[in-house]
Structure 1
Amino acid sequence: MKNFICNTCGVQVGSSAAAPEKCLICNEERQYVNPTGQTWTTLEEMIQSQIYKNNIAPEEEGLFNISTAPGFAIGQTAYLVQEKNFNLLWDCITYIDSITIGEIKKLGGIDAIALSHPHYYSTQVEWAEAFDAKIYIHEDDKEWVTRPSDRIIFWSGESLELTSNMILHRIGGHFKGATITEWKAGNARKGVLLTGDIMRVVADRRWVSFMYSYPNFIPLPASTVERMAGQLDEITFNRIYDAFHRIIKEDAGAAVQRSAMRYIDALNGKLFNT
């Protein structure tokens, strides 16, 4: 029996004797099946290939990024957030090996894992078991969990305080349970948001954007973005880190509001005439 991993999205499924015919995550309009067909691997095969390694690098005091080279599947970045006596892994990546585990243990280990949305569930159970950690997923995305575990806590409501400085906020949009993390102590206590791609920092680092599907270019409704902007306006933050290591370093709160207005105007035909 093996826990197979989809090569396209990087999400691991429950134990089975043979690879599934379909990936639950990819066979849905927010993701896609590779044009060459559905293929699978396992974590054991990835490790044995000796192709991959994880890079762990500091961002600022109390924050490290974690990424896999060469890139695998979606290629997102995870973040380790350090607090006194509590470390949070924000979002997850597929590849994990003994070297990664050893390096993270030197940084204090992982007490909890929090996920922005199903595309980044990856091998979350492997990570949780390696560090004896709990996994926090909003209950509205429960149907997308492909490898069940007693370590998963399905939280409800609009916010969940993990510590006095780390708060999960369900803001929806990309998925119904789409979540961001507010880190109050980050950026010298000016506040940091870790957003996954619930909000993406775009090529022009003064702006963010919002999408229902990024690979298939399906936008969110104007009303949804307006609601999200209202929720975000109630959170104090100065910096954003997204899932692909793009950063708005200063005045990120104003950037989000400005970006939401531009997005809404574009959808409503007020931004341009072409």
Structure 2
Amino acid sequence: MNYHVCETCGVQYEKSIVEPSECKICTEERQYVSIDGQNWTTLDQLVASSKYKNKITFEEDGLHSVKTVPTFGIGQTAYLVQNSHFNLLWDCITYIDIETITKINELGGINAIALSHPHYYSSQVEWAEAFDAPIYIHEDDKEWVTRPSEHIIFWSGEELNLQEGIVLHRVGGHFKGATILEWQNNKKEGILFVGDIIRVVADRRWVTFMYSYPNFIPLPTNTVKRIASQLDTFNFEKLFDAFHRVIEKDAKERVQNSANRYIAALENKLFET
């Protein structure tokens, strides 16, 4: 019996004797099955290979990024947010080993885990069990959980206050329950963690919004207008996305400018070609 892991997306499935017939995350139109076909591994195999390690990087006071090198699965970055004796792991990665657990415990451990959307569920249950932490997932994405656990808490509504200064917001778009994290960090201007519900593009002055990034399926204008209107009520100066792309300042203004440009492009008002 093994907890099989999809090699393409890195999401772990509940225990079974044989490999699952398919990965429901990857066969859905927002993701993809590798051109090499559906392949499976296990966390034990990843650790035994000695190929991977997690790089934990100090970003600023109270914030570390956590990323697997070399890249595994989608290659996202998780973030350890340290907020007044409350450590939150924002989003998750597949790889976890004793060295990772030791280093994070040296930083105060993990009190809770929160997920932006199903592509980053990875081995979230392994992380939750290692740190005895609850996992917060919006109930609108309940159907995408591939490994059930008593650690998972399905929350509802439009926002959830985990602690003063740490708020989850359901904004939808990429997934129905797509969630972002607002962290005030005892500063005048806060930080927004967006997974790839919002994606920082190559030109760091801009972001974009997509239903599917690998398959280039855009979101409709009314959805982007709604997301932009919701984000306009938040107080943030800086923005981190799932791939360690950062807008260091004026992030709120840049998100609004990007939404306006995106909408203008889809409504045939930005350019002629």
Quote the Cα distance in structure 2 between the aligned partners of 1:225 and 1:73.
28
Quote the Cα distance in structure 1 between the aligned partners of 2:237 and 2:42.
39
1:55-103 Cα shifts (integer Å, max 9, x gaps): 0001111000000000001000000000122100000000000000000
The residue identity in structure 1 corresponding to 2:143 is: E
- Which residue of the partner structure matches residue 128 of structure 1? 128
Structure 1 ranges of 4+ moved more than 4 A? none
The residue identity in structure 2 corresponding to 1:143 is: E
- Which residue of the partner structure matches residue 2 of structure 1? 2
- Which residue of the partner structure matches residue 165 of structure 2? 165
1:37 aligns with 2:27: no
Q: Which runs of 5+ in 2 are unaligned?
A: none
Scaled by the length of structure 2, what TM-score is found? 0.99
Name the SS of the counterpart of 1:154 in structure 2.
strand
Name the SS of the counterpart of 1:143 in structure 2.
helix
- Which residue of the partner structure matches residue 238 of structure 2? 239
Name the SS of the counterpart of 1:238 in structure 2.
strand
Cα-Cα RMSD: 0.6
- For these two proteins, the number of residue pairs brought into alignment is 273
- Which residue of the partner structure matches residue 117 of structure 2? 117
Quote the Cα distance in structure 1 between the aligned partners of 2:84 and 2:185.
11
Quote the Cα distance in structure 2 between the aligned partners of 1:121 and 1:273.
41
- Which residue of the partner structure matches residue 142 of structure 1? 142
Instruction: Trace 1:1-274 onto structure 2 (pairs within 5 A).
Output: 1-185=1-185, 188-274=187-273
Name the SS of the counterpart of 1:28 in structure 2.
coil
Quote the Cα distance in structure 2 between the aligned partners of 1:22 and 1:189.
47
Q: Cα offset for 1:213?
A: 0.1
Quote the Cα distance in structure 2 between the aligned partners of 1:86 and 1:160.
15
Moved more, 85-94 or 177-186: 177-186
Quote the Cα distance in structure 2 between the aligned partners of 1:177 and 1:147.
18
Percent of residue pairs identical: 65
The residue identity in structure 1 corresponding to 2:228 is: A
Name the SS of the counterpart of 1:141 in structure 2.
helix
Name the SS of the counterpart of 1:88 in structure 2.
strand
The residue identity in structure 1 corresponding to 2:269 is: K
The residue identity in structure 1 corresponding to 2:189 is: K
Q: Which runs of 5+ in 1 are unaligned?
A: none
Quote the Cα distance in structure 2 between the aligned partners of 1:201 and 1:56.
21
